[in-house]
Copies of this chain bind each other. A is one copy, B any other.
Amino acid sequence: MSFETVSQSRCFNGTQFVYRHASHETGTPMRLAAYVPPQAEHGKAPVVWFLSGLTCTEENFTVKAGAQRVAAELGLILIAPDTSPRGEGVPDDPEGAYDFGLGAGFYVDAIQEPWAKNYRMRSYIERELPALVAENLPADMGRQGIMGHSMGGHGALTIALRNPDRFRAVSAFAPIASPMNCPWGDKALSGYLGPDCSTWREYDACALIEDGARVRDLLVDQGAADSFLETQLKPELLEQACVRAGIPLTLRRQHGYDHSYFFIGSFIEDHLRWHAERLKA
Which residues of chain A have a CB within 8 Å of any CB of chain B? 9-13, 16, 63-64, 66, 68-69, 223, 225, 254-258, 260-263, 265-266
Which residue on B lies nearest to A72, using beta carbons? Answer: B266
Do A10 and B225 have beta carbons less than 8 Å apart? Answer: yes
Q: 26 A-B pairs, CB-CB below 8 angstroms?
A: A9-B257, A9-B258, A9-B262, A9-B263, A10-B223, A10-B254, A10-B255, A10-B256, A10-B257, A10-B262, A10-B263, A11-B265, A11-B266, A12-B265, A12-B266, A13-B266, A16-B262, A63-B63, A63-B64, A63-B261, A64-B64, A66-B66, A68-B262, A68-B265, A69-B265, A69-B266
- B10, B64, B225, B266: the one contacting A266 at CB < 8 Å is B10
Give the distance in Å from the alpha carbon of A66 to the alpha carbon of B66 in the complex. Answer: 5
Do B10 and A258 have beta carbons less than 8 Å apart? Answer: yes
Which residue on B lies nearest to A60, using beta carbons? Answer: B63
A164 vs chain B, min Cβ distance (A): 33
Give the distance in Å from the alpha carbon of A10 to the alpha carbon of B262 in the complex. Answer: 7
Other than A10-B256, A12-B266, A16-B262, give 10 A-B pairs with Cβ distance below 8 A.
A10-B223, A10-B225, A11-B262, A11-B263, A11-B266, A12-B265, A13-B266, A63-B63, A63-B64, A68-B262
A38 vs chain B, min Cβ distance (A): 11
Residues of B within 8 A of A223 (CB): 10
Residues of B within 8 A of A263 (CB): 9-11
Do A260 and B66 have beta carbons less than 8 Å apart? Answer: no
Give the distance in Å from the alpha carbon of A262 to the alpha carbon of B260 in the complex. Answer: 20
A139 vs chain B, min Cβ distance (A): 20
Give the distance in Å from the alpha carbon of A10 to the alpha carbon of B260 in the complex. Answer: 9
A16 vs chain B, min Cβ distance (A): 5
Residues of B within 8 A of A16 (CB): 262
Residues of B within 8 A of A262 (CB): 9-11, 16, 68
Which residue on B lies nearest to A266, using beta carbons? Answer: B12
Give the distance in Å from the alpha carbon of A223 to the alpha carbon of B225 in the complex. Answer: 39
Considering residues A63, A69, A262, which has the most beta carbons from chain B within 10 angstroms of its beta carbon? A262
Give the distance in Å from the alpha carbon of A26 to the alpha carbon of B69 in the complex. Answer: 38
A68 vs chain B, min Cβ distance (A): 7
Give the distance in Å from the alpha carbon of A10 to the alpha carbon of B225 in the complex. Answer: 9
Give the distance in Å from the alpha carbon of A255 to the alpha carbon of B255 in the complex. Answer: 41
